[in-house]
């Protein structure tokens, strides 16, 4: 496994490249142009500027996360073709700095959804929390009407985005999952040939949480749907980012089993744990199997026994030791997570070689 660390760039991240350099075994940055909105071309100039910074610290830029897909593509609107052309151009540009994997997602309107970004845990740390009944009973359009002009009420609902969110929610009304599948297929048919030309692996991130929220369709949610997704194309460029914490928020998704089945289509793995409560709420925990509902030791074993050579990153972490950071993306807990993953990996190596 090749260890990486997500970095939001000098202006957007509390973690520095000097700090990342001191986490054992991290060779690459998982990066993006975070000031580019979905649908825009990533200009070569900006991409090269990231490369310069990475080079200065000896990191590779093999993994991009995410080049976001414009809503019109997910909605299947006539305007999608222009946005798809832009996407192709971004693929070409990131290839020029050696990128090999592009993570993206196909979630309508909202990326990961949580009700509390800093939920206090028993030990005084805080973590991202999802309260199911709260989301289930929420009408986002109603909420937006009430909150326009005031502080935002959900993670990611920045005041300047509310108008767009409202428009998108309206546009998705009545859209079925089948339509979303069709729109994904259309997108893939256009971009996969370009990805292939550049030996680029596109790797879709599962939906987080892996079920419909606010009545919006969501499709990358289960083992059966991962199978369906992968059967859309045999292209070597068509792959999945296996995120244990996203898919794993539904206890029916057996993550080690999914890895054992599809490991050769997983160029990039997100590894994190979540603790799921009986009422469907969940909270993000440390990586240790004991602390959450996902057997992370078995997740790592599933990769190890298949000789996994793909990229890995710890995903969201808790906020510990009073760290002031982006929600889920602090230094300390993710660094602890990396050491846990290495500990497991090295132990499985020893066992495999007959050592003790």
User: Interface with ligand CS2 by CB under 6 A: which residues?
Assistant: 65-66, 103-105, 111-112, 205, 208, 243, 245-246, 270, 315
CB-CB neighbours of 191 under 10 Å: 26
Nearer to ligand CS2, 70 or 205 (CB): 205
* Residue 31 Cβ vs Mn ion, minimum distance, rounded to whole Å: 15
Q: For residue 54, what is the enclosing H or E element?
A: helix 44-56
Binding of Mn ion by 270 (CB under 5 A): yes
Q: Which does 136 bind (CB under 5 to 8 A by kind): Mn ion, ligand CS2, none?
A: none
* Residue 65 Cβ vs ligand CS2, minimum distance, rounded to whole Å: 6
The residue with tokens 């909270």 is 283
Nearer to ligand CS2, 71 or 208 (CB): 208
Q: For residue 270, what is the enclosing H or E element?
A: strand 268-271
Nearer to ligand CS2, 148 or 211 (CB): 211
Q: Which does 104 bind (CB under 5 to 8 A by kind): Mn ion, ligand CS2, none?
A: ligand CS2
Nearer to ligand CS2, 1 or 204 (CB): 204
Nearer to ligand CS2, 130 or 303 (CB): 130
Q: Which does 111 bind (CB under 5 to 8 A by kind): Mn ion, ligand CS2, none?
A: ligand CS2
Nearer to ligand CS2, 75 or 347 (CB): 75
Selection from 350, 347, 332, 339 nearest residue 25 by Cα:
339
Question: Any residues with CB less than 8 A from the CB of 141 and at least 6 apart, and which?
Answer: 166, 169, 170
- Residue 344 near residue 297 (C-beta atoms within 8 A): yes
* Residue 297 Cβ vs ligand CS2, minimum distance, rounded to whole Å: 20
Binding of Mn ion by 334 (CB under 5 A): no
Binding of Mn ion by 243 (CB under 5 A): yes
* Residue 349 Cβ vs ligand CS2, minimum distance, rounded to whole Å: 27
Going from the C-alpha of 171 to that of each of 165, 166, 177, 183, 188, the distances in angstroms are 10, 9, 14, 14, 22
Selection from 231, 226, 179 nearest residue 205 by Cα:
226
Q: For residue 222, what is the enclosing H or E element?
A: none
* Residue 105 Cβ vs Mn ion, minimum distance, rounded to whole Å: 9
- Residue 313 near residue 30 (C-beta atoms within 8 A): yes
Binding of Mn ion by 13 (CB under 5 A): no
Measured CA to CA, the distance from residue 308 to residue 300 in angstroms comes to 9
* Residue 197 Cβ vs ligand CS2, minimum distance, rounded to whole Å: 23
* Residue 251 Cβ vs ligand CS2, minimum distance, rounded to whole Å: 17
Selection from 247, 347, 335 nearest residue 300 by Cα:
347
Measured CA to CA, the distance from residue 203 to residue 64 in angstroms comes to 10
Binding of Mn ion by 73 (CB under 5 A): no
Please report, in angstroms and rounded to a whole number, the separation of the first and last CA atoms in the chain.
21
CB-CB neighbours of 19 under 10 Å: 15
Nearer to Mn ion, 114 or 270 (CB): 270
Stretch that binds Mn ion, among 36-44, 102-110, 156-164, 238-246 (CB under 5 A): 238-246
Residues engaged in binding Mn ion (CB under 5 A): 243, 270, 315
């Amino acid at each position: 496994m090749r260890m990486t660390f997500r970095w939001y760039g000098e202006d957007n991240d509390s973690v520095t490249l000097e700090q990342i350099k001191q986490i054992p075994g991290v060779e690459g940055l998982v990066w993006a142009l975070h000031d580019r909105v979905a649908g825009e071309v990533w200009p070569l100039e900006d991409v090269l500027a990231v490369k310069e910074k990475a080079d200065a610290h000896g990191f590779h830029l093999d993994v991009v996360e995410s080049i976001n897909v414009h809503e019109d593509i997910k909605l299947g609107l006539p305007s999608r073709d222009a946005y798809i052309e832009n996407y192709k151009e971004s693929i070409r540009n990131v290839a020029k700095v050696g990128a090999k994997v592009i993570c993206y997602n196909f979630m309508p309107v909202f990326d990961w959804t949580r009700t509390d970004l800093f939920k206090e845990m028993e030990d005084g740390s805080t973590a991202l929390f999802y309260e199911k009944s709260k989301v289930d009973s929420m009408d986002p359009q109603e909420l937006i009407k009430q909150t326009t002009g005031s502080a935002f009420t959900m993670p990611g609902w920045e005041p300047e985005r509310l108008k767009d969110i409202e428009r998108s929610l309206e546009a998705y009304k009545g859209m079925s999952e089948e339509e979303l599948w069709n729109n994904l297929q259309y997108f893939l048919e256009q971009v996969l040939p370009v990805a292939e030309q550049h030996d680029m692996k596109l790797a879709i991130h599962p939906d987080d949480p892996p079920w419909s929220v606010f009545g919006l369709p969501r499709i990358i949610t289960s083992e059966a749907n991962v199978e369906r997704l992968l059967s859309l194309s045999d292209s070597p460029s068509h792959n999945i980012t296996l995120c244990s914490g996203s898919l794993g928020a539904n206890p029916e998704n057996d993550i080690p089993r999914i890895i054992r089945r599809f490991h050769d289509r997983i160029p990039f793995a997100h590894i994190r744990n979540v603790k799921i409560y009986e009422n469907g709420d969940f909270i993000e925990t440390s990586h240790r199997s004991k602390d959450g509902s996902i057997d992370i030791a078995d997740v790592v074993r599933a990769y190890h026994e298949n000789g996994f050579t793909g990229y890995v990153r710890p995903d969201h972490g808790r906020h510990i030791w009073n760290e002031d950071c982006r929600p889920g993306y602090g230094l300390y807990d993710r660094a602890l997570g990396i050491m846990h993953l290495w500990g497991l990996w090295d132990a499985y190596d020893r066992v495999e070689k007959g050592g003790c």
